[in-house]
Structure 1
Amino acid sequence: MSEVLSSENIKKNSSVETVNKKRSQLAEVWRRLKKNNMAMAGLAILGVIILLAIFADVIAPYDSVAIKQNLKDRLQSPSGAHIFGTDEYGRDMFARLVHGARVSLQVGILAVGISIVIGGTLGAIAGYYGGKLDNVVMRIMDVFLAVPSILLAIAIVSALGPNLFNLMLAISISSVPGYARIVRASVISIRDQEFVEAAKAIGADDFRIIFKHIIPNSLAPVIVQGTLGVAGAILSTAGLSFIGLGIQPPAPEWGAMLSGGRQYLRYAPHVTTIPGIAIVITILALNLVGDGLRDALDPRLKS
């Protein structure tokens, strides 16, 4: 009886130690991230943009402000009534920016999430098993990498049609090879370490070893690349919408707003410059956070 109790106590203590270790690692990463002033500034800006996107319907009702046309107020300069002015159809620019932030963040986050799941799984399997399977998977990834990502996205959207789902699908597919290569490189460096050998020795199957032990220890470079990937996905979304293959009118999207206002650039520059500035600020914030996470998660910088 005492032996059973002692074994249960050992298990409880080991689980508590594991939880405390994970918490201490997260606390250490957060402590080091807080020391990076630029990363914290990017995080603050990103937090504001996310809050605006979440409460977009409260800040500016979609049907009555963001897409309702009012031609008598078209192309008004920024004023008290319209802080960012109005566009070529008299719609409030601030309302369209706020709702456009929701679209851009949604596409960016979901597209990168799909890319990480698919690419990470393929990269982990290829790196763990190696041999012919690794060669086949990575050669397929090389074929996708040989095609410029924006060109591949244009081809997919053109074939499937321009809408929100197809846009996310196109951007995610074009980003899969990059994540597959990153995860594969991490898995190759981890698969022969002692904790993996110990998991094999106690009879753990390959599925458990890959998804329970190897992938969690390969996430640091994926998190960093994913943060930067969201910025790239937002930029790709704006680019595709600019050429008419993204979100379709009258739905607000930053790239489509740029495209619609370019012919009024001379006498109503706010129609183009304001969504352009929004894209620049968002991409800059994401890049600052990504750089900060890279430094915080780099084990060589712990000292």
Structure 2
Amino acid sequence: MQKQIHRQDKKTEISNYRKRNQMVEVWSRLKKNKMAMLGLVIIIILLLLAIFADVIADYDTLVVKQNIMERLQPPSKKHIFGTDEFGRDIFSRIVHGSRISIKVGVISVAMSLILGGLFGSIAGYYGGKTDNIIMRLMDILLAVPSILLAITIVAAFGTNLINVIIALGIAGIPKYARIVRAAVLGVKDQEFIESARAIGATDATIILREVIPNCLSPIIVQVTLSVAGVILSIASLSFIGLGIQPPEPEWGAMLSGGRQYLRDAWHITVFPGLAIMITILALNLLGDGLRDALDPRLKQ
């Protein structure tokens, strides 16, 4: 018994060493991709803006408080992105709006990943009727466009931040269930899974410690791309009035509020639109770079 435990500990140590080497190899390959690194730099800048938004711009004075005397001013030294129809500083609203977009994106994708990953891992590991029932439910959800499903949930339960996060999180569950299921099917019959069963590991332990960690490559790439999709979805919901409500500085709501002034004050819509475009572009560049770095066929 002690020999088996010693062998298992040694295998775990070897596995951890290999994982560290793989991470170093993936990072070195990712660094060679200039576009992916550009996306990573932009994302880091956005995260810093979101973290230090209160330091960069005062929320009550510049973001929420209306100043009709300075409405619709073009970009200047005082307001580098100009002011909106209520005299609020657009740059400050974009900075604080990054908090909302990143928060909704990360929490919604985390919800989709946890629930979808749980369903997908159970379906792939057990197979049979369990797999059939779970995946048919996922197919039903996939039959409804994700944005339409999110609109239905938000319209039914109300337009607030929590409901928007729940709606977008539920809409992304089937996608992760299918990805994780496919990855689990590829590893569940490997020798290390049989070794875990041989030493008496429970199914939950095998799934959480052995199966899912070996399926992380496609999941990591999908998470990066999904955050971009969620940010675009929340902007779309806010644009049609079903997302974050005024006076909260959400990028889609800023676009919706400024569209009637597009001819006379172009800056009201252009800068929030650029913020959405640059954020999604950066996430897509990083996602593409991670996909290439994690592709085992590129190791040769």
TM-score (norm 2): 0.96
Please list the CA deviations of residues 188-237 of structure 1 after superposition, one character each: whole Å capped at 9, or x if unmatched.
11111111111111111111111110011111101100100000000000
Residue 224 of structure 2: aligned partner: 227
Q: How does 1:276-291 map to 2 (within 5 A)?
A: 276-291=273-288
Query: What does residue range 150-169 of structure 1 map to in structure 2 within 5 Å?
Result: 150-169=147-166
| Cα displacement string for residues 123-168 of structure 1 (whole angstroms, at most 9, x for unaligned residues) | 0000000111100000000000000000000000001101111101
1:258-280 deviation line (CA, Å, top 9, x unaligned): 00000000010100011001100
* Aligned mates of 1:6, 1:213 — CA distance in 2: 21
Distance 1:293 1:144, change over 3 A: same
How do 1:139-178 and structure 2 match up within 5 A? 139-178=136-175
| Most deviating of 11-20 and 226-235 | 11-20
The one-letter amino acid paired with 1:282 is T
Cα displacement string for residues 5-25 of structure 1 (whole angstroms, at most 9, x for unaligned residues): 999987776555443322211
- Amino acid corresponding to residue 85 of structure 1 in structure 2: G
Deviations 1:279-302 (A, max 9, x none): 000000000000000011111111
Does residue 1:273 correspond to 2:233, yes or no? no
Q: Which runs of 5+ in 1 are unaligned?
A: none
Query: CA 1:107–1:86 in 2, change beyond 3 Å: closer, same or farther?
Result: same
Distance 1:185 1:158, change over 3 A: same
Identity of aligned residues (%): 63
Residue 249 of structure 1: SS of its match in structure 2? coil
Q: Which amino acid aligns with 1:27?
A: V
1:8–1:196 Cα change, 3 Å: closer
Aligned to 1:262: 259
Q: Does 1:74 align with 2:65?
A: no
Runs of 4+ in 1 over 3 A off after TM superposition: 4-19
The aligned residue for residue 19 of structure 1 is 16
Counterpart selection for 2:125 from 116, 128, 137: 128
Specify the alignment match of 1:45 in structure 2. 42
The one-letter amino acid of 2:297's match is R
Q: Could you tell me which of 85, 88, 91 is aligned with 1:91? A: 88
Q: Which residue of 2 aligns with 1:299?
A: 296
CA distance in 1, matches of 2:129, 2:14: 40
1: distance between equivalents of 2:63 and 2:213? 42
The equivalent of 1:190 in structure 2 is: 187
Amino acid at match of 1:89: F
Q: Which runs of 5+ in 2 are unaligned?
A: none
Three-state SS of the structure 1 residue aligned to 2:66 is coil
Q: Distance in 2 between matches of 1:23 and 1:204?
A: 24
Q: State the alpha-carbon separation in 1 of the partners of residues 223 and 133 from structure 2.
A: 25
Question: Which amino acid letter does the alignment assign opposite residue 51 of structure 1?
Answer: L
CA displacement, residues 222-260 of structure 1 (integer Å, 9 cap, x when unaligned) = 110010000000000000000111111101000000000
Distance (Å, rounded) in 2 between the aligned partners of 1:169 and 1:8: 43
Is 1:35 aligned to residue 41 of structure 2?
A: no
How far apart in 1 are the matches of 2:136 and 2:186?
20
1:246 partner SS: coil
Q: Tell me whether 1:110 sits opposite 2:107 in the alignment.
A: yes
CA 138–5 in structure 1, closer or farther in 2 if over 3 Å, else same = closer
Q: Following the alignment from structure 2 to structure 1, what is the Cα–Cα distance between the partners of residues 7 and 125?
A: 31
1:15–1:120 distance in 2 versus 1, CA, 3 Å: closer
Coordinate RMSD, CA, aligned: 1.7
